[in-house]
Amino acid sequence: MKKIILSIFTACALVLTSTALAQIATAEIQGIDETRPHSIELDAVRLDGSVGEVVITVLALDAGGNPVAGAAVSWVVQNSKETPAYVVGSSAAMAAMLGRAYKGADLSVDGGVTNENGEAYLVVDARTSGDTKVAVNVGGIDAKTYDGNDMRIVWF
């Protein structure tokens, strides 16, 4: 009996997941490139609302322009400066620091899934000047800004 219930539950979960993913027509990074001052020292390595924090939101939509919930989200942070950029939060996890993006090494971050509004987010910060690109994939679709690019953050 337990095996039958588990099989039915697994089948339903797979159908719901594949339905949500199949519905995604577009994924949009909300906003455009950002330029801002960097955070000071330890403020850059934790989510605290410091001046350098940038919240990047992605929106998953179906063909009718409606939000799609439950779509898997993955982020890639690429840093072009010597000092690291810090990922300090995401819609999947909040921690003192989820990772550091070093020059020349991509940092992959699990973004969880989109919420009921079709959104997911990532929070990035830096403690010195920096130049970082952020790419995001939602349900197999590469999200872009309204002008067709990945998100770029420049700290001064």
Q: Which domains does the chain have, with CATH numbers?
A: 2-155 (2.60.40.10)
3-state SS assignment for residue 17: helix
For residues 68 and 62, the answer to whether their CB atoms sit within 8 Å is yes
Spatial separation of the C-alpha atoms in residues 137 and 115, rounded to whole Å = 15
Beta pairing partners, 87: 99, 124
pLDDT band, residue 32 (cuts 50/70/90): confident
Q: Which residue has the higher pLDDT, 148 or 19?
A: 148
Q: What is the pLDDT of residue 22?
A: 46
Length of the chain: 156
The pLDDT of 121-148, averaged and rounded, is 96
User: What pTM does this model have?
Assistant: 0.83
